[in-house]
Amino acid sequence: MFMTIESNFSSWVPKSARLLIDEEHPLALEKYEKCLGRMRPEIALSLAKTIFLSDVRDVLEWVQVPCTIVQTSHDSVIPISVARYMQSKIKGESTPEIIENDGHYPQLTAPCCCLMLLPVGRVIGVSFDDKTELLFPAADGTSVAA
């Protein structure tokens, strides 16, 4: 992978994007691919090396604050066992949340599901009563109630 980034960045970009974002989410795939393609190849290589050559499992036991571990049910690069492993190692309260979705980036392919996992007031800085309906944009341009 590192050699491909160095030698043929323009062919690596769409392949990498399609590995991480399922084609069932064309808008997210298109946006991610464009974003990735705007990156300078040397930055992409440095980032890839940081991600794939780093092992920080030993710091999980230092985490003592409550955590939500977000994982998709069909992640092409990270199996669900990783979320369970993280939960077992984190010293603080941790909750794995498995979103029924494909791909590695649920924040791009299932943003409403991700937002529903977080306390709304903390995410957007306001609080709501039980009668407030939040609307989020859907991929097709309509609004989805949360």
What is the pTM for the complete model shown?
0.73
Pairwise CA distance, residues 137 & 103, whole Å: 20
**pLDDT per residue as tens digits for the range 20-59:** 998 999 999 999 999 999 999 999 999 999 999 999 999 9
β-partners of residue 135 are 145
Backbone angles phi, psi at 41, to 5 degrees: -55, -40
Structure tokens at 40: 């300078």
Over the range 96-122, which residues count as b (16 or more CB within 10 Å of their CB) and which as e?
A: bebbebbbbbbebbbbbbbeeeeeeee
**pLDDT per residue as tens digits for the range 69-121:** 999 999 999 999 999 999 999 999 999 999 999 999 999 998 888 888 876 54
